[in-house]
Structure 1
Amino acid sequence: MAILLQITSGRGPTECAWVVARLSAILLKEAYRLGLLAEVIEQEPGPLANTSLSVLIHLDGVGSNEFARRCEGVIQWIGISPFRPHYQRKNWFVGVRSIAIPEPITFAASDVRFETFRSSGPGGQHVNTTDSAVRAVHLPTGISANASEERSQTANRKRALERLSILIARRKEKQALSVRQERWSAHNELERGNPVRVYVGQEFRLRTGDKRD
């Protein structure tokens, strides 16, 4: 199952953006070693060279969810700032969050089932003596749309399909909005503390025992 892995500096200083860039390269290598498909699909540049405010990695393949689970959380780097060597602060934090990718909604002819029924007018009077009303059902999602105003079943079928396509487009928009909102919240909800991994020094060495199993 495909999943997104977002690495964020959490509105932190330039040092955190430097950590994001280093960490993203490390996680990509780890994913490759596990045989996963991993690709950076979005990168927000930081204020200086070799820095990134955030990096979005697309993961796919068997074990993607498990890998993302082990990476998710607060990452700490302990070291002297590469930009402000006399700065006293030595602890820098970034965040990693996994975001599930909604299953893509397909809209092929084979995904739609048409049902006919008899429409009724005011007072229960039948508009037509035949079952001219049509309901279009999108089988993968269960979304349905009706059309009954036309006298022709063919015309109602066309209208129902048009309405169904609009409803599916709205569902896709909601899914995309949900992913964007989750990504946005990751930037603002970074907690400094309880790291799942700790890296040390300019060589970015993983401290023994700090890698989540």
Structure 2
Amino acid sequence: MKLIQFSAGQGPSECALAVKLGVRRFIEDAEKLGLRVDIVEQEAGEIKGTFKSVLLMLKTDDVNTAQQQCLEQWQGSIQWICRSPYRPKHGRKNWFFNVVLWESDESQPLNTSDVEIKTCRSSGAGGQHVNTTDSAVQLLHKPTGLSVKVQTERSQHQNKRLAFALLNHKIKALESQQSEALKGNLRLQHHQVERGQAVRVFEGERFRERS
């Protein structure tokens, strides 16, 4: 299961807008190559229509060479050069967000006794299945308090599998954060974005790539 995370880290609203533009561009690029992508989880930014974080899932684990190249081109720090649409007098024009591709590790399953499982009806976009079946799955990891809710798939079984994979990833990220904190060098990919080493650069409100 391949998952892709776009994150503005602790950046301002302009970075959250860049995430929105980046996700839209990525989905367009992926679909042109025949890759199917679903939004699994998203964290809204302070300004409506922007996102601090978006988690996407590829609908297939089998990718061809062109598709793999597309994925690799997006991994890392992405730079967006544009005057702030929110703060016209602000001098800064360079905004960054981070993209990470990872595969879920299901070789070490969670202890189900530590997880509270709830099923509920899906909400939002989802066609005829919305509010008709209890296909959405919400998990709470009692030892850490971490929770996830997944409703992208039509079957409860598929949503449950994805939810456990996502929760497992969050727990490992938390453990990594705590480990780094003990070393006095806190660093977590979801909360920190590398600046000055962009793998791709886009410009303007149309989000056109710099050649």
Normalised-by-shorter TM-score class: 0.5 to 0.7
The one of 88, 94, 97 equivalent to 1:94 is 97
Q: Which consecutive residues of structure 2, in runs of 5 or more, have no partner in the other structure?
A: 110-162, 178-187
How many equivalent pairs are there? 142
CA–CA distance in 1 between the matches of 2:47 and 2:165? 35
Q: For residues 174-209 of structure 1, give each alpha carbon's deviation from its aligned partner in whole angstroms, at most 9, with x where no partner exists.
A: 98434544488222232111111100111111111x
The one of 76, 79, 89 equivalent to 1:76 is 79
Secondary structure, counterpart of 1:24 in structure 2: helix
Q: Counterpart of 2:97 in structure 1: which amino acid?
A: V
Q: For residues 13-63 of structure 1, give each alpha carbon's deviation from its aligned partner in whole angstroms, at most 9, with x where no partner exists.
A: 000000001110110111111111111111111101120000001012423
Q: What residue is the counterpart of 1:43 in the other structure?
A: 42
Q: What residue is the counterpart of 1:190 in the other structure?
A: 193
Q: Percent identity?
A: 35
Q: Counterpart of 2:168 in structure 1: which amino acid?
A: L
Q: For residues 53-82 of structure 1, give each alpha carbon's deviation from its aligned partner in whole angstroms, at most 9, with x where no partner exists.
A: 000010124235543222100000001001
Equivalent residues of 2:104, 2:165 under 8 A apart: no
Using the size of structure 2 for normalisation, the TM-score is 0.60
Secondary structure, counterpart of 2:189 in structure 1: helix
Q: What residue is the counterpart of 1:32 in the other structure?
A: 31
Secondary structure, counterpart of 1:95 in structure 2: strand
Q: 1:175–1:13: structure 2 CA closer, same or farther, 3 Å change rule?
A: closer
The one of 162, 168, 173 equivalent to 1:177 is 168
Q: For residues 85-141 of structure 1, give each alpha carbon's deviation from its aligned partner in whole angstroms, at most 9, with x where no partner exists.
A: 1100010010000111224789xxxxxxxxxxxxxxxxxxxxxxxxxxxxxxxxxxx
CA–CA distance in 2 between the matches of 1:4 and 1:174? 10
Q: 1:84–1:73: structure 2 CA closer, same or farther, 3 Å change rule?
A: same
Greater CA drift, 174-183 or 10-19: 174-183
Secondary structure, counterpart of 1:186 in structure 2: coil
Secondary structure, counterpart of 1:29 in structure 2: helix
